[in-house]
Amino acid sequence: AQSVTQLDSQVPVFEEAPVELRCNYSSSVSVYLFWYVQYPNQGLQLLLKYLSGSTLVKGINGFEAEFNKSQTSFHLRKPSVHISDTAEYFCAVRESMNYGGSQGNLIFGKGTKLSVKP
């Protein structure tokens, strides 16, 4: 069965510092990987996704993530964060070979709260 682990529940960081939010997954088949962001009192918004091809994926708001198959990781990074990046970030995975039924659904991690301080 698939699972997603976000190792840090909270990450405090100062403005303009770099940040990495960690995500590891487990699956016996190929996967698609996603990062979503949830700003306070809002729904989730897609930041970026890995489907195939280049393992370095660039998303919105200056975020990027790197797919590492051997380490089953998909860590999210930003070289310089802003106060406005304060939000909760969710990593999600879906099997790439099956669609239909529950195999096609996203499995979400428990989220990482990024807090950017001035």
Q: Convert residues 59-98 into a mask of x (bound to other proteins by CB under 8 A) and - (unbound).
A: -------------------------------x---x-x--
- The DSSP-derived string for the chain is --EEE-S-SEEEEETT--EEE--EEE-SS-EEEEEEEE-TTS-EEEEEEE-SS-SEEE-GGG-EEEEETTTTEEEEEESS--GGG-EEEEEEEEESS--SGGGGS-EE---EEEEEE-
The interface with other proteins within residues 24-53 (CB under 8 A) comprises 32, 34, 36, 41-46, 49, 51
The interface with other proteins within residues 5-24 (CB under 8 A) comprises 6, 9
CB of 96 to other proteins, least distance (A): 7
Q: Where does this chain bind other proteins (CB under 8 A)?
A: 6, 9, 32, 34, 36, 41-46, 49, 51, 90, 94, 96, 99-102, 104-106, 108-111
